[in-house]
Chains A and B, each alone.
Chain A
Amino acid sequence: MIEFANFYLIPGILLGSIYALGAIGITLTFGILRFANFAHGESMTLGAYISFTLVQMTGLHPLMVMPISMVLTIVVLLFIDRYFYRPFRKSHAIMLVMASFGMMLMIRSVIQFFWGVQVKTILPGIQMPIVFFDTLRLSPKHIMIIISAIVLMLAVHFLLSRTKIGKAMRAMADSPELARLTGIDTEHVIRTTWVVGGALGVASGVFLAIDTHVETMMGFNLLLPMFASAILGGIGRPYGAMAGGLIIGLTEELSSYPWIGTEPLLNPGYKAGIAFIIMVGMLIWRPTGLFKGKV
């Protein structure tokens, strides 16, 4: 039982929080700018690498330098939006999907150019886990990640439900056309979307880097689970994305628990396929997702 918690449940919640933070950005862009942003994973990777360099330079903890890498990544995202996405505001959304697909490879090649492809460690040293109730083991970095993720999600909740711009974001996710007719400054909403999505993306990238390591494919590997989380929760529904991320993270980890007999239920090599299966199932059964999003 305790082995279940230590090796499956906690890693699942951890992974789920990372997916959830990333998926919020995906679902907001999907809902507000109306396109599936293939480059979202890369903004996480970029954030993680910038944090890595800042940690190298300053010797501070990754969480301490995270705000700076958020700002830098957001600047890059706003630049990309201005020169590569904005020209397509009035075109078919698929042009944006294509532009973001190209952007995904461009950002990654820049990262590979500057940092190389070797795997890097952002938080050196092995930490002794803290033991609760004699058996429940939690490493300090995991506690830190989960608490930070909760704080960030509460901040998102506050933004979306209490602030004018947050409500305008939800309004635009509901109907961009009506938002424009209502006089909402849609360009301002779009910029805020990049700021929020980018900041959360960087956080999720840095958390993943703290949990594992920094590598150039880390963002892309998260892309499919994040899309799946966004679709599971309902496109344009940030709370749905949080729930979807947690569900998918947990399912991925729990799928290799030996539920029946002593063998893992699913070959761990296929863990990454879980998200896809859930996503396809959702697309067949209920494309609007759990929280009734857009189709």
Chain B
Amino acid sequence: MIPVLELQMVEGGYAETQILHGVSIKVNAGEIVVIIGPNGAGKSTAMKSVFGLLNLTKGKVFLDGSDITNLSTEKVVRHGVCYVPQTENIFPSLTVQENLEMGAYVRDDDFQPRLNEMFDLFPPLAEKRKQAAGTLSGGQRQMVAMAKAIMVEPKILMLDEPTAGLSPKFRHEIFDIIKTVHKTGTPILMVEQNAKQALAVADRGYILVDGKNKTEGTGQNLLNDPDVAEMFLGGGVKK
């Protein structure tokens, strides 16, 4: 089976600083895949490498088997990869509906049905469709961010630390939203600091250290791995 997204031994970074020293990640159809690792391991950078946001010096990125290495951001989005950054992931002065319309910017067909689907999927958004997105609560903003990202019915959705800085109660809410999105059939690749919860919802996980793959396995296996437990799941609470 051809994976939806595949990074093959990717190396690269920003300007003169190399951050990725060989990262390989695969996401298959229907999966939730989590990347975890210590701060500075290159987790978010690995995701951004898909979007032509950094210089890749080595390695390849494939989407559904076709090479998308170093394509421009706009082209990658047109090919069906959507990305929700950790912060600044909505347009605060646009209304909820306008945010979703922007999500469909690259679509040339009629996206009205998809818009209605989103409102069915996230009823709170339907209620507030005419409201500026910046005035919503944290959880609802994440809903907007994800609904906006999947307006194009992407081949894969990528999330950068969706629960960073949120209280445990909100984290649950976010993971629920992620599961909701996943049920629509969209594979998800995400970077998470809250390794335990993330691995619990994930099919598979990758552990990156110093810009390289360290370990990989199914969510359950990683959760039960004593090394992993010591490194990431132990008492140490990450931001």
Contact = CB atoms under 8 A, between A and B. Distances in A.
Interface of A: 164, 167-168, 170-171, 173-175, 177-186, 237, 292
Interface string B12-52: 00000000000000000000000000000000000000010
Given A175-B88, A181-B83, A183-B73, A164 B105 contact: yes
Interface of B: 51, 73-74, 77-78, 83, 85, 88-94, 98, 101-103, 105-106, 148, 152
B106 A178 contact: no
B148 A182 contact: yes
A150 to B, nearest CB: 23
A181 B51 contact: yes
Given A182-B102, A182-B148, A184-B102, A171 B78 contact: no
B74 A183 contact: yes
- Of the listed residues B51, B77, B102, B148, the one surrounded by the most CB atoms of chain A closer than 10 A to its CB is B102
B85 to A, nearest CB: 7
B103 A164 contact: no
A239 to B, nearest CB: 10
A170 B101 contact: no
A172 B25 CA distance: 31
Contacts of B77: 181-183
Contact of B152 (A173, A179, A183, A292): A183
**Per DSSP, are chain A's interface residues mostly helix, strand or loop, or mixed?**
helix
A237 B93 CA distance: 9
A184 B85 contact: no
Contact of B89 (A167, A171, A178): A178
- Of the listed residues A171, A175, A181, A184, the one surrounded by the most CB atoms of chain B closer than 10 A to its CB is A181
B98 A167 contact: yes
A237 to B, nearest CB: 7
A168 B91 CA distance: 10
Contacts of A171: 91, 94, 98, 102
Q: Which 10 A-B pairs have the closest CB atoms?
A: A183-B77, A183-B106, A174-B91, A171-B91, A171-B102, A184-B105, A175-B88, A180-B73, A183-B74, A181-B83
B93 A177 contact: no
12 contacts: A164-B101, A171-B102, A174-B92, A174-B94, A175-B88, A178-B85, A181-B51, A181-B77, A181-B85, A182-B77, A183-B77, A185-B105
A177 B105 contact: no
A177 B91 CA distance: 11
- Of the listed residues A167, A170, A185, A237, the one surrounded by the most CB atoms of chain B closer than 10 A to its CB is A167
Given A174-B94, A183-B105, 20 more contacts: A164-B105, A168-B102, A168-B105, A170-B91, A170-B93, A171-B98, A171-B102, A174-B93, A177-B85, A177-B88, A179-B91, A179-B102, A181-B73, A181-B77, A182-B105, A183-B73, A183-B74, A183-B77, A183-B152, A184-B74
Contacts of A186: 74
A164 B90 CA distance: 17
A167 B94 contact: yes
A185 B74 CA distance: 7
A37 B85 CA distance: 29
Nearest to A183: B77
Nearest to A234: B93
Contacts of B148: 182
- Of the listed residues B89, B92, B105, the one surrounded by the most CB atoms of chain A closer than 10 A to its CB is B105
